[in-house]
């Protein structure tokens, strides 16, 4: 387990803020119980920043016939919808909600060529709401594998998330399970696949990014 490079500036800044707050509590707070409570709050907030930006070492699931979870979290949607953007057809949709306690790295669900990558500014509704997929700030990325099969995945900001980091550039080659980006604080990942696929998860399932298979190509 390490710390992701995206979190280093945040951790440094927060260490200064919470260290100063902790020192102030020790110096100026004279009520024993309140001093303990405020000290615990300072330490908890600093620890949360470390936990949020953790970067775990994982055994990546590598199988060209599988679409692997691009993030940690809980499955909140498994259905079919019509997708106007890029595909213009009905797609299988699998959405994952990430809480503040999940690892927030984004991984490529399949390998191949990045053929589409587009960023959209937007709102910051709670990420577990269905409208968040379309209304919130998000980035859509499409990967085409060696068989010509395409998968779109969307990094979607939440009510707290204020910055989406995307490493996927059009024309670049990517490896299944390699890092595709990072979403800072609570968010959502949605996978969209045209054609026939066999979902391997259900609503309510917990998934691990780069490890848990979401669906199988038919």
The set of catalytic residues is 187
Query: Which class for 161: exposed (0-12), middle (13-18), buried (19 or more C-beta within 10 A)?
Result: buried
Q: Helix and strand tally (H, E) in the chain? A: 3, 16
Neighbours of 101 (CB within 10 A): 12
114 CB-near residues (< 8 Å, 6+ apart): 141, 142, 143, 168, 169, 170, 171, 172, 173, 174
The span from the CA of 73 to the CA of 153, in Å, is 15
């Amino acid at each position: 387990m390490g710390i992701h490079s995206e979190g280093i500036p945040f951790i440094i800044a927060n260490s200064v803020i919470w260290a100063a707050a902790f020192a102030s509590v020790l110096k100026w707070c004279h009520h024993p119980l309140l001093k303990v409570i405020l000290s615990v709050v300072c330490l908890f907030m600093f620890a949360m920043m470390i936990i949020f930006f953790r970067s775990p070492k994982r055994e990546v699931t590598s199988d060209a016939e599988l679409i692997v979870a691009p993030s940690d979290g809980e499955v909140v949607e498994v259905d079919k919808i019509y997708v106007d953007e890029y595909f213009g057809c009905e797609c299988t949709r699998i959405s994952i909600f990430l809480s503040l306690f999940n690892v927030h790295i984004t991984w490529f669900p399949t390998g191949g060529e990045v053929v589409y990558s587009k960023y959209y500014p937007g709102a910051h509704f709670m990420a577990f709401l269905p409208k968040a997929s379309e209304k919130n700030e998000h980035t859509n990325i499409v990967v085409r594998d060696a068989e010509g099969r395409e998968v779109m995945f969307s990094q979607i900001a939440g009510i707290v998330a204020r910055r989406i980091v995307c490493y996927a550039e059009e024309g670049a080659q990517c490896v299944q399970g390699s890092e595709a980006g990072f979403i800072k604080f609570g968010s959502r990942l949605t996978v969209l696949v045209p054609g026939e696929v066999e979902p391997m998860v259900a609503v309510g399932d917990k998934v691990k990014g780069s490890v848990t298979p979401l669906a199988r190509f038919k």
